[in-house]
Amino acid sequence: MTTYVPKAVQEALDAARVSGLKKKSRLRVAVDGGYFPVLRTWENGFSVEEEFVPQLRGLVDLYDGSRHVSQCLIVACEAEGGEMRYEFKRSTAASETAPLDFYRAPNAPVGLLGNEGAEGRL
């Protein structure tokens, strides 16, 4: 028995699947001032809608709603079933603060008080 599906039916099935994935996902990719919904993610990549998203390459940012999740260096992998898949060459988790270039002790003081203007107060 063969399972032949006409091309029009296959395209309609792919469009319905992509539409369902877009509704479920909160993730989006930001590149050149534009935001595009991410359909699926996995350990070393993600996919976007092939028809409406321009060809992505290089450095992009991933967002979960309005929260910056990571900055990624990506490379195009393959297009299949209305999805364009990208793989991470590098993925760096985003942080709220800048990284420190020195060790900060857990019990270190938050700041130091100077003695400027303290002369003559005794």
Phi/psi region, residue 101 (left: phi>0; alpha: psi -120 to 50; beta: rest), is alpha
For residue 87, count other CB atoms closer than 10 A to its CB.
15
Q: What CATH number belongs to 7-93?
A: 2.40.10.430
- The DSSP line for 44-88 is TEEEEETTTSPPP-EEEEEEETTEEEEEEEEEEEEEETTEEEEEE
Q: What pLDDT digit, counting tens, does each position of 30-81 carry?
A: 888 888 989 888 889 999 988 888 888 899 999 988 888 999 999 988 888 7
Confidence of residue 90 (pLDDT cuts 50, 70, 90): very high
Amino acid code (one letter) for 46: F
Domain boundaries, the chain: 7-93
Q: What pLDDT digit, counting tens, does each position of 1-27 carry?
A: 567 777 777 777 776 666 665 555 688
